[in-house]
A and B are shown apart, each in its own frame.
Chain A
């Protein structure tokens, strides 16, 4: 509120550090930085956002390819992979069972920790927060730079794991001990698991730095007149997400360091006494190298892991909800229906998110009375989600909807989030979960939320804010083609997994057809696999559109969508320091179709 001075060209938050290094105090809007300073060691939030965006998209492609290999095995188990047979000489070209466990472990890990979290909070958090609150940069630009640079060791370790003896971690993305802590238990637990833990710890450090920065920036650096209740919902969602990370991440970091100690220093946090793994007798546990102290509790890891990773699920979806809210309002030319209920329901999701982790452990052997408690809190978290859906529908109602590509993806988010949200109620219900726990209905559920939901919101956000990032529009026709195929094939891929789950099909099995009870499910898995291949191939329309438009797209001015929030007051793309004029905010970000003025929107900075 008191930051009016920060909009002058001299940014007090940037100057001191740079002043020490050089003799000349630099002016942000006049100087030219070299390639390294501008694109690699950048302290500019927009560049750091793009760094997160590009690395996230690269890992998205990697994680997607792993998903394709998983789908191939599920449709045609143990058949040589066409064109990829050279990768698996030992098995005659087919995926081996240990490779399969590694594949789904790393698919989950990469998609969650290296794609969705970095894209949602890293890329869009960085790019949008200062622009949407009218600030020249983050509160701590150098910390922001370190936030990306701590991702580099994370990338290193997570990629290194693929090349170590025994292959990468293969204990599932949840890495339950003792499978993950005892080297003899799985090939991936030799060295791969250590790489996995190191990678995750570094991601955690990066997210932590980002979260501190986001909260500080949003609380302290809003443009004059921009009260908290005038913030765009994207900013609210990123603020709440950052608070979730601040409170939950230390627990994951501690837990992964404890597992690291179990693996390397022979502590016994998670490893019980008297195990016989792979014909290694208890004696060798006592005197050998593994879990010598023992006496640990495998359930402790599950509690600690899910204490972070359940809030992490909301980290994966809250920003997507924020983007969707903004995009729906702009392209429907309507104010957000129920702005305050939207803020409160996001806060409620975050708050309840901390007391529902036990629903991942209903069948784990945890006290069943606890399961009852967690069921009630989990069922109730559907309430704020429902309120948000109703408010999105209310926002569309009576609008003047422009069906541009970002809007299509945002509507698809609503459509598919409904599916993912509703199927969650089955999982929350403890007796039903006894049956469906770890079946494909769970796979359907979280892919509808994270893939069909959040990733579609990310696509929407890329199409929507691309003009601000690069000063050019993405091609509308190609965008629509991308949307139609993605929407159709995504549903074809994931919808029938619900029925597979009801039929009892287990997830994480390399060859479910070894069981009589699952044999008849193979044709439907073939259908899903072919759909998944089509969906993956269809993304070529996005890749081509993205890179082509970056250089040759149609140039646009500051506000191509006639949106009302502050980022559209900056040039496209904004220069160093973002805004070239003094900002003063008079209203909320959703004054569309207001009868006060002739146009159908009032920018936040316009005084009427």
Chain B
């Protein structure tokens, strides 16, 4: 029986590592990365993964080996020991250093993505002059562009639901808001997630580096229709973006919404 049980325990690290190695081939891995900071996030994930994998393999193999070796019919008693101060010191100090390293390795990227002091300041869009307001509500996304004057909350604002259009290779800042409950802005390809909090306006920035159409997912439970609260993130070249904005403007004002209304 001990062969069976030790084998079961040994299969945990073997199959465990194997599924991670094969995951990419099975399309069970990161979707493509499109944002400027996504690569760093994937890199940090991998850094932790390699360190964790090492610990995982060592401890799981030791467990399986000990169960196999010491459950054999052996004469006499077990080793009578209450522990080893030296070993305790070693396996406290080494993981402590490794964990502190992991923690400090994260800080730069986190600050880059989330700290408002690090938001783009020189570009076309800033915290004070966002590209748009993104409103979440049960169960849709609405984008409000500031229009020609570049200021939100004025009469020339443009509204559009479902699709959020942004230019490629540009630092984009937008304001995330919610009309009702908590939602969360998540674009897997951007590696970006931020909750929309009712009563708050949260500035968010990203820089998309590849044109395309990406799913905008609501990542925080927001009611029975949470699963269908989808949106679309469209990244266009600057020329296409300008054209699309003109179309959006024409469409918006032809829908009976006159200036000055």
Contacts and interface: CB of A to CB of B under 8 A. Distances in A.
A363 B193 contact: yes
Contacts of A240: none
Nearest to B68: A401
A491 interface: yes
A393 B222 CA distance: 44
Interface stretch (A5-13, A49-57, A220-228, A335-343): A335-343
B181 A178 contact: yes
Nearest to B55: A422
B28 A400 contact: no
Given A403-B5, A503-B29, A179 B193 contact: no
B105 to A, nearest CB: 8
Contact of A418 (B5, B29, B59, B186): B59
B153 interface: no
A412 B64 CA distance: 10
Interface string B41-60: 10011001101100110011
Interface stretch (B15-23, B122-130, B248-256): B15-23
Q: How large is the interface on A (under 10, 10 to 19, 20 to 34, 35 or more residues)?
A: 35 or more
A524 to B, nearest CB: 7
Contacts, number: 333
Contacts of A401: 66-67, 70-71
A186 interface: yes
Interface size class of B (residues with CB under 8 A): 35 or more
A432 B191 CA distance: 9
A520 B27 contact: yes
A422 B28 contact: no
B81 A337 contact: yes
B83 A341 contact: yes
A3 interface: no
B2 A403 contact: yes
Contact of A425 (B1, B23, B52, B107): B52
Contacts of A511: 227-228
B220 interface: yes
B23 A502 contact: yes
Interface stretch (B88-96, B156-164, B234-242): B88-96
Interface string A430-441: 111011111000
Interface stretch (A23-31, A121-129, A211-219, A270-278): A270-278
A98 interface: yes
B82 A182 contact: no
Contact of A502 (B28, B78, B80, B114): B28
Contacts of B36: none
A521 interface: yes
A398 interface: yes
A379 interface: yes
A371 interface: yes
A470 interface: no
B106 interface: yes
A178 B230 CA distance: 21
A499 interface: yes
A276 B107 CA distance: 37
A185 B180 contact: yes
A546 to B, nearest CB: 22
A402 B71 contact: yes
Given A363-B193, A487-B8, A514-B227, A341 B198 contact: no
A458 to B, nearest CB: 20
Contacts of A272: 198-199
B103 A380 contact: yes
Nearest to B53: A422
B226 A510 contact: yes
Contact of B200 (A186, A365, A397): A365
B241 to A, nearest CB: 22
B245 interface: no
Interface in A49-102: 96-98, 100-101
A364 B81 contact: no
B77 A593 contact: yes
Interface string B215-232: 101011111111110100
Interface of B: 1-2, 4-5, 8-9, 12, 15-16, 19-20, 23, 26-31, 37, 40-41, 44-45, 48-49, 51-52, 55-56, 59-60, 62-63, 66-67, 70-71, 74, 77-84, 87-88, 91-92, 95-96, 99-100, 102-103, 106-107, 109-111, 113-116, 137-138, 179-182, 184, 186, 188-189, 191-195, 197-200, 202, 214-215, 217, 219-228, 230
Interface of A: 96-98, 100-101, 170-172, 176, 178-179, 182, 185-187, 272-278, 297-299, 332-341, 363-365, 368-369, 371-372, 375-376, 379-380, 382-383, 386-387, 389-391, 393-394, 396-403, 408, 411-412, 414-416, 418-419, 422-423, 425-426, 428-432, 434-438, 480, 484, 487-488, 491, 495-496, 498-500, 502-504, 506, 508-512, 514-517, 520-521, 524, 590, 592-595, 600
A-B pairs with the 7 shortest C-beta distances?
A272-B199, A398-B79, A338-B83, A504-B188, A368-B114, A499-B28, A593-B77
Given A368-B116, A430-B110, 8 more contacts: A178-B180, A186-B223, A335-B81, A339-B82, A401-B66, A438-B193, A514-B228, A592-B80
25 contacts: A176-B181, A178-B182, A275-B180, A278-B138, A338-B83, A340-B83, A363-B195, A365-B200, A368-B110, A368-B114, A368-B115, A369-B115, A375-B110, A397-B79, A398-B78, A403-B1, A403-B71, A431-B110, A434-B114, A437-B193, A495-B16, A503-B29, A504-B30, A516-B215, A517-B188
